[in-house]
Amino acid sequence: MTQQTAILKKPSGAAQKQGAPASVGAARFFTIAGRAIMWIFLLVVGALTLFPILMTIVGSLMTNSELMSGGNILPKTWQFHNYADAWQQSNFARYTWNSLFISIVSMVGTLLVAAAAAYVVDRRSFPGKSLYVGLQASTMFISMGAIVLRPQFDLMVAVGLNSSLWGVILILMSAHASTFFILLGFFKSIPRELDEAAMIDGSGFIRSFYRIILPLLAPGLGVSGLFAFRHAWNEYILPLVFTMTDPKLQTLTVGLANLRYGSSAAMQTNLMMAGACLSILPMLIVYALANKSFMQATAGSVKG
């Protein structure tokens, strides 16, 4: 058997040796051609990815008639006052403030609620602990869609928060399960000796939470805070439902989407593009500064 295979292998090995110089040249050609095809592919997909964003920026700097007639690709004169118009006439100043308010408050709230819970779960054992963790995990997977918004809304009516942004904030905070699990992972890297030592020195359990744990948890809070902020800032359906009766409370997403129904004679597409830019730009700036954190945290969700 072994002899046979050895014999069979011989000629092919010889052929390889003979063809060696030609195949090296061919291989080089194929790597260069392959690389070129790869770059063309990457650049085409990249261009398609950037296209809507670039269109938004360009469109926000055109006049409305320029945008409608489609005469040119770049604006003839850059209409920076579109932003001022959107900011004042189309109420984007108010929308921006509302978006900032719910995003910042719900981010801080989510972080505190989740960090406190993760602290107890990681450092202590208590009856019903696995039940609690299971409950948190299950809230991430059961999805009945918008239907749960109705009882949530009714609860907010009952406590008088239905026409305020606090209702939106509380509902956003209630979805803190993913933050909880991210922070739980970060707790594993904080040595128990640190808070135990502090407790021996007389610091209580709760006191060491905010004196020792929270500062050490900063990287975890930063990453999950980024996600909580993005979630709240981009949320559409929740604020839409809560601001139906009170347009003054609309966020950027809701205010912008409602402009589609344009009550005035013609839809002012250029102002809508300017509004879209106003709501996209803060996220893009945060992303430009922290894209590594965004990507690491996203990637971490399948690694763990």
Partner 1 sequence: MTRWTRLWENSLLLFPSIALTLALGIYPLLWVLRYMFYDYPGYGQEMFVGLDNFRRLLRDSAFWASVRNTFVFAGGKLLITIPLSLILAVMLNGKLRGRHFMRAVFFMPTVISTAVISVVFYLIFNSYNGMVNQLLMKLGLLGGPFEWLGPDHAMMTVVIAAAWGAVGNYMLLFIAGLQSIPQDLYESASIDGAGPAQRFWRITVPMLGPVMQIIIMLAIIASFKGYESIMVMTEGGPIGRTDVMYLYLYKLLFPLATSGTPADQQFGYGSAVGFATALIVGAITLLYYWLSRKMNKVY
The Cα angle at residue 165 between residues 159 and 168, in degrees rounded to 5:
80
Residue 65 or 88 having the CB closest to partner 1? 65
CB atoms within 10 A of CB 108: 16
Amino acid at 44: V
Q: Minimum Å distance from CB 2 to partner 1?
A: 18
Q: Minimum Å distance from CB 76 to partner 1?
A: 15
Q: Minimum Å distance from CB 47 to partner 1?
A: 10
Q: Virtual CA dihedral for 243, 247, 253, 256, nearest 10 degrees? A: 150
Question: What is the 8-class DSSP label of residue 270?
Answer: H
Residue 19 or 300 having the CB closest to partner 1? 300
DSSP string, 69-105: HT--SS-SS--THHHHHHHHTT-HHHHHHHHHHHHHH
Residue 218 or 281 having the CB closest to partner 1? 281
Q: Minimum Å distance from CB 127 to partner 1?
A: 10
| C-alpha–C-alpha distance, residues 162 and 166, integer Å | 8
Q: Minimum Å distance from CB 6 to partner 1?
A: 17
Contacts of 243 (CB under 8 A, 6+ apart): 249, 250, 251, 254
Residue 72 or 88 having the CB closest to partner 1? 72
Residue 80 or 236 having the CB closest to partner 1? 236
